[in-house]
Amino acid sequence: MFSTPDERHAFLIGFSEVLCPWKPRIPMTGRCPFPREKEYHYYAFGRGVGFISLLLILVGIITLFKEFIL
Protein backbone atom coordinates (compact mmCIF):
# COMPACT_ATOMS: atom_id res chain seq x y z
CA MET A 1 0.00 0.00 0.00
CA PHE A 2 1.29 3.45 -0.97
CA SER A 3 4.43 2.08 -2.60
CA THR A 4 4.77 4.89 -5.15
CA PRO A 5 4.59 8.68 -4.90
CA ASP A 6 1.61 8.72 -7.31
CA GLU A 7 -0.39 6.52 -4.92
CA ARG A 8 0.37 8.75 -1.92
CA HIS A 9 -0.37 11.87 -3.95
CA ALA A 10 -3.73 10.51 -5.13
CA PHE A 11 -4.68 9.59 -1.55
CA LEU A 12 -3.70 13.02 -0.18
CA ILE A 13 -5.60 14.87 -2.88
CA GLY A 14 -8.75 12.84 -2.17
CA PHE A 15 -8.33 13.26 1.59
CA SER A 16 -7.76 17.01 1.34
CA GLU A 17 -10.70 17.61 -0.99
CA VAL A 18 -13.13 16.21 1.58
CA LEU A 19 -11.51 17.32 4.85
CA CYS A 20 -11.48 20.92 3.66
CA PRO A 21 -14.87 21.12 1.89
CA TRP A 22 -14.95 24.77 0.79
CA LYS A 23 -14.03 25.97 -2.68
CA PRO A 24 -10.32 26.47 -3.36
CA ARG A 25 -9.08 30.04 -3.58
CA ILE A 26 -7.05 29.19 -6.66
CA PRO A 27 -8.82 26.74 -8.96
CA MET A 28 -6.70 24.03 -10.55
CA THR A 29 -6.76 24.47 -14.29
CA GLY A 30 -5.03 22.70 -17.08
CA ARG A 31 -3.55 19.28 -16.68
CA CYS A 32 -4.65 16.93 -13.92
CA PRO A 33 -1.97 16.80 -11.16
CA PHE A 34 -1.96 12.99 -11.03
CA PRO A 35 -3.19 10.20 -13.26
CA ARG A 36 -6.68 9.70 -11.81
CA GLU A 37 -7.44 6.85 -14.14
CA LYS A 38 -4.41 4.91 -12.92
CA GLU A 39 -4.59 5.67 -9.18
CA TYR A 40 -8.32 6.30 -8.80
CA HIS A 41 -8.79 3.71 -6.04
CA TYR A 42 -6.28 5.56 -3.82
CA TYR A 43 -8.04 8.83 -4.59
CA ALA A 44 -11.41 7.31 -3.65
CA PHE A 45 -9.94 5.78 -0.48
CA GLY A 46 -8.53 9.19 0.49
CA ARG A 47 -11.95 10.76 0.00
CA GLY A 48 -13.53 8.10 2.23
CA VAL A 49 -10.96 8.56 4.99
CA GLY A 50 -11.29 12.35 4.70
CA PHE A 51 -15.07 12.16 5.07
CA ILE A 52 -14.82 9.96 8.17
CA SER A 53 -12.19 12.31 9.62
CA LEU A 54 -14.42 15.32 8.97
CA LEU A 55 -17.34 13.60 10.71
CA LEU A 56 -15.17 12.74 13.74
CA ILE A 57 -13.89 16.32 13.97
CA LEU A 58 -17.45 17.69 13.83
CA VAL A 59 -18.66 15.23 16.48
CA GLY A 60 -15.73 16.25 18.70
CA ILE A 61 -16.52 19.94 18.28
CA ILE A 62 -20.21 19.37 19.06
CA THR A 63 -19.29 17.30 22.14
CA LEU A 64 -16.95 20.03 23.40
CA PHE A 65 -19.60 22.66 22.78
CA LYS A 66 -22.21 20.69 24.73
CA GLU A 67 -19.77 19.94 27.56
CA PHE A 68 -18.41 23.44 28.13
CA ILE A 69 -21.04 25.84 26.84
CA LEU A 70 -24.35 24.24 27.75
Q: What is the pLDDT of residues 29-70, one digit of tens each?
A: 656 666 666 788 888 899 899 999 999 999 999 999 999 887
Query: Which is higher by pLDDT, 24 or 38?
Result: 38
Average of pLDDT values for 15-20? Answer: 86
Q: What is the pTM of this model?
A: 0.75
Q: What is the 3-state secondary structure (H, E, C) of the chain?
A: CCCCHHHHHHHHHHHHHHHCCCCCCCCCCCCCCCCHHHHHHHHHHHHHHHHHHHHHHHHHHHHHHHHHCC
Segments forming the whole domain that contains residue 44: 5-22+31-68
